[in-house]
Copies of this chain bind each other. A is one copy, B any other.
Amino acid sequence: MPVYGELVIVVTPRGKRGLHRVLENQDLHTRDGVLRMADIAQAEYGSEVLTSQGVPYRLYRPTLSDLVQGVKRQTQILYPKDIGYICTRLGVGPGRTVIEAGTGSGSLTAALAWFSGPTGHVHTFEAREEFQKLAAKNLDKLGLLGENVTMHLGDIAEGFDGVTGADALFLDVRTPQAYLEHIPEACCPGAALAFLLPTVNQVTLLLEGLEQGPFDDVEVCELMIRKWKPIVDRLRPEDRMIAHTGFLIFARLQEKSDLWERFRVQSLGTRERKQEASRRQRLGLPPLESLESAEITGSSTEDL
């Protein structure tokens, strides 16, 4: 049973959904008449409450997916499929600190705050004040603007406002390569990084930036969801699907020592060696052969 102050998803028989906080004397005015808060507060989750015109509306306790979709948006928001995967890959959770830029409408921020719990922390950056205000309002409405969220206003061109030691970072900005230089200051060595970009041109520019280091373990992927019509005797995929929301790019904040590279290169196949050779040439690095023949001293060999 929702208590006053809680959030509730209200669904109509026509499939419309709304996210509302249960507040005394704040009845909902719908196209089917008034839905009284007093009735909501006395109903069970999963039950139906009638509007003044006798139309049944359902009450659900919101899932994270419901919350994210309940966000008022002035920007493109992330989809649940991408949100879940990003949080899993970044290790967002209790005890972890994550940086996000830009905040946008706050849909991913909501998820980060949700999964972080009271012992994790989210630093979210937004350059445009109107977006930050919108996101703050959204998070507040969702009950996720807790002490585990710090909202930073300002461009990240100068860095991440003194934040240090983050375990993970997510950039959803047009030119993420422009901000790579500030990541080592803000994140732990080895931190997990993720980026979302719509076009392959942007992906290429980001990959070029990541190649300059100190980054490694770069991955690029797309996540596609294909819905099916859930009809018992005519089971089949939906006719249409969303074909593209964006490319996801993952990496680690990671120096690559020559010693590491020497051993890594040894395990490559013929074609990968060729690609590596061409990459080194493009970057102006010494050729593969030099790497393999050189005397390379690890930083702590004397210990072993």
Residues of A in contact with B (beta carbons under 8 Å apart)? 12-15, 33, 36, 39, 44-52, 54-56, 58-66, 68, 80-81, 83-94, 111, 114-115, 117-119, 167-168, 188-192, 198-201, 203-204, 207-208, 211, 218-244, 247, 249, 252-255, 257, 259-264, 266-267, 275, 278-279, 282, 298-301, 303-304
Contact = CB atoms under 8 A, between A and B. Distances in A.
Given A15-B264, A63-B89, 16 more contacts: A13-B263, A14-B266, A36-B303, A39-B300, A46-B190, A50-B299, A87-B87, A199-B234, A199-B236, A200-B235, A201-B234, A207-B230, A207-B235, A224-B225, A226-B243, A240-B241
Given A61-B167, A264-B13, A225 B222 contact: yes
Which of A48, A66, A68, A83 has the most CB atoms of chain B within a 10 A radius of its CB? A48
Which of A55, A63, A88, A244 has the most CB atoms of chain B within a 10 A radius of its CB? A88
Contacts of A249: 230
Given A46-B254, A298-B54, A303-B39, A80 B91 contact: no
A207 B223 contact: no
A208 B15 CA distance: 22
Given A221-B227, A228-B247, A201 B233 contact: yes
A56 B257 contact: yes
B91 A66 contact: yes
B263 A55 contact: yes
Contact of A300 (B50, B198, B234, B261): B50
A168 B63 contact: yes
